[in-house]
A and B are shown apart, each in its own frame.
Chain A
Amino acid sequence: MGSTWSLLAPLKGLGEDVHLLGGEPHAASTAGTFPEESREDISAAETAGLGFHSCSYLKLFVGEVVRDKIAITDRTIKEGYPKPDLIWTTHLCSQHSKWYQEVSRRLGGIPMYAIDMIGGGNAEKDPKIVKYACDQIEEGIRWLERVTGRDFSDELFIKAARNEIKVLVLWGNICALNRHAPAPLDERRLIALFPPAMVDRTTDETVRLYEALLKEVRYMVETGQSVVPDQRFRIVYFGIAHTYGHPEIARILRDAGAEIVASVYTFGTCGNFRGFENGKWSWDPLDPAWADELDLSTRRDAISALVKIALGWPTWQGVRSYWALEQMARAMVTEYKADGLLLAPSRSCETDFRNGYIAMQRIFKNQIPTVEYDTDQVDVRKMDLPGSQRKTELFVHLMEAHKKGGA
């Protein structure tokens, strides 16, 4: 169990019977599948003492532990929260690994290991940050052996590591294809298609899935196809995919032929790109063949490659560096030929996914139609849906006016 912003491959070194429960995807899918249960979970966490303004993913997850129930994506709610053998996670914000401290405590003290990835712009190029993360993972692997009593298999780990890197590169390639007009995929498809990369990107199956998907999307581009052919407006979206209200917002946009063709969260939480070169961000994809050719001869090689690729995620970069987020936004607006920038900071999230988006208005408002609406990952109370719908209508209006030479 743990955050899927962690490196997952080390866990696979423990054997082929390791199953992952990722905090963020679990919370998101629970909220999307069981909205009523989710509200109960969040309330239960708050009654148990967690703050109203705490991360709602965290509260939903802890709430399930409090209620001793868990939602499964086969659309059932199981009584009895399953006790994990261990927690392997990371610490991307000030409360992130504290999420799992709370879960561990409530379940009687589950062994947990949180890796401090540091993050930030150009982090993967900073040798001391890379070394720091690698050293922790080396230590973490020794801990995994002690706490499970298993021997760590470098063979399984290295295989999983290569798969993990490959999937991240493949997803980046798929997202980069949306630079074409019409963009082959819309945000709805992107959100539907990235969970395997979030949930478990270490398996051969996941690699095959994204290789097939890349092939298909390339074909769509070659033949001029799109899942939404009528794309009058191309939108860049900086927001977390919120389960509540997102379809409503998408509907308003769809009716106007406005499509989100690029999104930092969907692209950057499990996808890699060329990143910073000479101070400017590039959303150019990496060559998948590069992942195949990586020298992962030793455990340290694999750890190092994994750490660099994770630190290279747009989201790991942007979450702690306002300037990285700004550069990414500028590049995304240009490369994806945006007609508008839609910002949806999440009220529960204290990272730059909330704060950085506020500053985006200041940068882009005088350049292209830019509108911000407040939302939340999974807490419906924090989303003002009517207000957000009105703002989205305004956004469409501004894009129309801009097209006519006004706004």
Chain B
Amino acid sequence: MNNDNILAGLDVGHVNTKAMIMRGQEILGYGTVRTGFDVVAAAQTALNHALDNVGISGGELAGIVTTGIFRDMIKVPSLDVTGTEPEYVADAKGALFLNKNSRTVIDVGGNTHKAIRYDQNGNLLDVIQNDKCADGLGIFYTTIAKAVGLSEQEMSELALKSTKDVSIAIQCVLSAEAEAIDLMCQGIDIADVANAISRFIVERVAAMCTYMSLTKEIVVAGGLAKSQAVIRHLPSLIKQDVSVLDLPEYVGAIGAVISYGGGK
């Protein structure tokens, strides 16, 4: 594909569907919608948003590449998908594109999280994904925020104001939610509860990371990477420095484009 080709990457996740439009190395535009129950509609809508942001029509795309958990479900005539990539492949490519020195990406998504090691060409070296009990961290974060009447952004800002560490039972997201509500009913400062939740989430991720050697530089991607309240705990837990990628939730979509010859 030559530099004039405009490619779209679609990362269809459990919670959000992300669309990215690129021409060569240039990011032209992007868009995100909630995935919901109609995966195809979500993919179409996300793509349309991205196209609107760029100011082009779908006909001007040279190809659409999909990734994410539902990548195979959107191979429909209306979308004319060129190809698919597993999310771990796309993540590695996307992370490398955004940070040429990176060699490990930790993706903290809505439902699953993973750590991916790759070489200087973005080829996979190793991957670890969460076990079943640690599913749903991002969804949990959203749920808790709603339970206390906040957006995720507000919850994150509140957690940064915490002055005291509190403990919260963390066998799974279900018990953590019940515990969080219990703590608030006991009068514990909501900022401290928000911080405890944030720490709980990143500890699950960090625990998974201890199975695998993480090669520097380590970068963080995924929707939850945007929460400073969550990510600030990560370096001390994995005992390594990390940096959050720009456009962290779009890493997969970018990687999908790169996998199909984009980014040159």
Contacts and interface: CB of A to CB of B under 8 A. Distances in A.
B86 A372 contact: no
Interface of B: 69, 86, 88-89, 112, 119, 123-129, 131-133, 135, 210-213
B123 A397 contact: no
Interface size class of A (residues with CB under 8 A): 20 to 34
A384 B69 CA distance: 14
Given A366-B213, A393-B86, A398 B127 contact: yes
A387 B69 CA distance: 9
Interface of A: 347, 361-362, 365-366, 369, 371-372, 374, 382, 384, 387, 390-391, 393-394, 397-398, 401, 406-407
Given A398-B126, A407-B126, 6 more contacts: A361-B128, A384-B135, A387-B112, A391-B129, A394-B129, A407-B125
B92 to A, nearest CB: 11
Contacts of A371: 129
A384 B211 contact: no
Contact of A365 (B126, B132, B133): B126
A60 to B, nearest CB: 20
Nearest to A404: B123
Contacts of A391: 129
B132 A347 contact: yes
28 contacts: A347-B132, A361-B211, A361-B212, A362-B210, A365-B126, A365-B213, A366-B126, A366-B212, A369-B126, A371-B129, A372-B131, A374-B131, A374-B132, A384-B132, A391-B129, A393-B86, A394-B86, A394-B127, A394-B129, A397-B86, A397-B88, A397-B89, A397-B124, A398-B126, A401-B123, A401-B124, A406-B125, A407-B126
A401 B119 CA distance: 12
Contacts of A393: 86
Contacts of A390: 69, 129
Contacts, number: 52
Which 4 residue pairs spanning A and B have beta carbons closest together? A374-B132, A361-B211, A384-B132, A401-B124
A401 B124 CA distance: 7
Given A406-B119, A407-B124, A407-B125, A387 B86 contact: no
A407 B112 CA distance: 22
Nearest to A406: B123
A362 B211 CA distance: 5
Contacts of B211: 361-362, 365
Contacts of A407: 124-126
Contacts of B69: 390
Contact of A406 (B86, B124, B135, B210): B124
Contacts of B129: 371, 390-391, 394
A12 to B, nearest CB: 42
A390 B13 CA distance: 14
A47 to B, nearest CB: 20
B188 to A, nearest CB: 28
Query: Among the interface residues B86, B131, B213, which one has the most CB atoms of the partner chain A within 10 A?
Result: B131
A230 to B, nearest CB: 23
B212 A365 contact: yes
Contacts of A365: 126, 128, 211-213
A227 B88 CA distance: 33
